[in-house]
A and B are shown apart, each in its own frame.
Chain A
Amino acid sequence: MSTIPHDAIVGGLPHDEHAHHPKGIMRWITTTNHKDIGTMYLWFSFTMFLIGGMMALTIRSELFHPGLQIVDPEFFNSMTTLHGLIMIFGALMPGAVGFANWLIPMQIGAPDMAFGRLNNWSFWLLPPAAIMLLMSLLVPGGAASGGWTMYPPLTVQSGMGMDLTIFAIHIMGASSIMGSINIITTILNLRAPGMTMMKLPLFCWAWLITAYLLIAVMPVLAGAVTMLLTDRHFGTSFFNAAGGGDPVLFQHVFWFFGHPEVYIIILPAFGIISEIIPTFSRKPLFGYASMVYALAAIAILSFLVWAHHMFTTGLPAASILFYMYATMLIAVPTGVKVFNWLATMWKGSITLEAPMLFALGFLFLFVIGGFTGLILAIQPIDVQFQDTYYVVAHFHYVMVAGTLFGFFGGTYYWLPKWTGHMYDEKLADWHFWGSFIFFNVAFFPMHFLGLAGMPRRVPDYAQQFTDWNMVSTIGAFGFGLSQLIFLAAVVKCIRGGAPAPAKPWEGATSLEWTLPSPAPYHSFVTPPVVK
């Protein structure tokens, strides 16, 4: 249903004569153009991905051998904390917003986002917040080291780095909320005539639902860290047991945000994959309506399962059963999506360009992450695996092989539209195979380590875990180096390459492919009519 034949679009051809904008740095500081802002989001995200990646390599270097050899334990804990925060709030979420900025107006036939200035502000809040988070490494007491989950009482007692972290989260959260308001308003109000909700491309649907999730849970996180802040400095006792507060309450509030956050990160990647697979299978997406309902079902269920992160804190038996079964229930709409992606490929005329390779890699690895999630949903098993490397393996299969592979696939898919050049397929293939192989070398052994009982967030470990840790560290460095190939492929594509036609992919059907490549500064000055 989302497939729009190009002969069904009337008018709407863009023209670039209105593309007046300041030159140089002022263009980027003052821009309200969705493409400029999307580009800045994507580069910011990639920069933070490299910084967070460096932290991950510091962690893996320390864990190459048992014993303490490179960093002291406090710094190691700061690295695990900042790695999590930077990857989630600095890399994955802004990356998704970058795709949204670039694509949503073009896919719905709009000239730009609904609130241009708000869009500019949303982006420019991020760099100061990221700098503040990183600078916390330099303050007395060091950066926050209580884990990205920031559980009290540790975070009530820790130093000034925690205050900077709380402030950075407030700012990044405000940025996300403003971005979400913009996205929802754009999709609801700026669709081209004839573009009904059930004709929206799946990427827009995925982002619409993601934005609703963000609107609902980011204020809850902001509320939680505000209470943490007042506990630290203003004498309140929300979570301070000494004053009658309850530290476990923070865990409830945090995971009320934290579990939907997982879907906030993965749903935009679902949307990207839902664009790529039909294109390279040369078939319409199988079960469009069921895909939309599955997205909505995942979003709703994500609010009902938060306490599965807290099975070891002590919950009533009835609660444990509820959260266990509710968590398992999420496998149903997720299974619908996986089934529909496979059914789309079934008897399709499949070709394996880089976007499709990443989509297939996503499918294969995300399903592994999904299954280990199902295993962790079973409370008696979770009690054994809580805080082990099994959990680390599970969520990296979802976050990295799921979201990141989706973003890589999406980048290669839309690079011709963004730059006007085709990317180097050989470099992109090297990037895929390097990422795919080394990702598994890095993270699959963590399942074994977790099953054997190796705890997470520790800089030292018992001798028997050495071999798999060495393998994992080698994989992590290989995965990191593979990302330099990605950087080379993107830079090469920006600087030149074979000119890209308006529609470089034979099977592509959504509105952005009716625009020339590179997409003009203003997309649809007169709205196209979708019949």
Chain B
Amino acid sequence: MATEPTRRDPERLKRANRRTGLVLLAIVLVFFFGIILSRFIENPAVSIGVVGGAVLLYLVVAIGRHLRR
């Protein structure tokens, strides 16, 4: 998602910004429609568990993968 912290190539940087932004936007859309669609699962515990698990996994991956950079 992120590039190395350098600004030598503006075009490459612009592409990286766009890519990061689109990935984040995709996550937003998944959560928005996910929470509505999860209402159609009969068992609320399962639906909340699925969305909650997705959020947790996303946070761990999103924050964790950047720690070493």
Q: Which residues of A contact B (CB under 8 A)?
A: 114-115, 118, 177, 180-182, 184-185, 188-198, 208-209, 212-213, 215-220, 222-224, 226-227, 238, 246, 249, 252-253, 256, 296, 299-300, 303-304, 527
Number of A-B contacts (CB under 8 A): 111
A527 CA to B44 CA, complexed, in Å: 50
Contacts of A224 in B (CB 8 A): 35
Is there an interface contact between B59 and A114, defined as CB atoms closer than 8 Å?
A: no
Contact A198 to B36, CB < 8 A, known contacts A219-B28, A219-B29? no
* Chain A proximity mask over B30-51: 1 for CB below 8 Å, otherwise 0: 0111111001000010001001
In the complex formed, the residue of A with least CB distance to B69 is: A197
Complex Cα spacing A217 to B60, Å: 15
Known: A256-B48, A303-B52. A188 touches B20 (CB 8 A): yes
Contact A212 B52, CB 8 Å, known A191-B5, A193-B6, A527-B7? no
Interface contact A195-B5, CB-CB below 8 Å: yes
Residue of B nearest to A221 (CB): B35
**Nearest CB of B to A285, in Å:** 18
Query: How far does the Cβ of A271 sit from chain B's closest Cβ, in whole Å?
Result: 15
Q: Is the CB of A252 within 8 A of B48?
A: yes
| Distance between A156 CB and nearest chain B CB, rounded to angstroms | 15
Contacts A185-B20, A246-B44 hold; do A198 and B52 have CB atoms under 8 A apart?
A: no
If A189-B13, A216-B27, A256-B52 touch, whether A226 touches B36 (CB-CB below 8 Å) is: yes
Q: A223 and B31: CB pair below 8 A?
A: yes
When chains A and B are docked, how far (Å) is the Cα of A213 from the Cα of B68? 21
Interface residues of B (CB under 8 A from A): 1-3, 5-7, 13, 16-17, 20-21, 24-25, 27-29, 31-36, 39, 44, 48, 51-52, 55-56, 58-60, 62-63, 66-69
A sample of 19 inter-chain contacts (CB < 8 A) reads A118-B21, A181-B21, A181-B25, A184-B20, A185-B20, A215-B28, A215-B31, A216-B27, A216-B59, A222-B32, A223-B31, A238-B39, A249-B44, A252-B48, A256-B48, A299-B59, A300-B59, A304-B52, A304-B56
Given A185-B17, A195-B5, are A223 and B36 neighbors across the interface (CB < 8 Å)? yes
Query: Complex: how many Å from CA A305 to CA B55?
Result: 13
Least Cβ distance of B20 to chain A in Å? Answer: 4
The listed residue (A196, A217, A249, A303) touching B39 by CB distance below 8 A is: A249
Beyond the given pairs A180-B24, A215-B28, 6 more chain A to chain B contacts, judged by CB atoms under 8 angstroms and listed by A's residue number, are A181-B24, A188-B1, A249-B44, A252-B48, A256-B48, A304-B56
Interchain nearest-CB distance for A435 vs B (Å): 34
Please, which residues of chain B bring their CB within 8 A of the CB of A226?
A: 36
| Shortest Cβ distance from residue B54 to the other chain A in the assembled complex, whole angstroms | 9
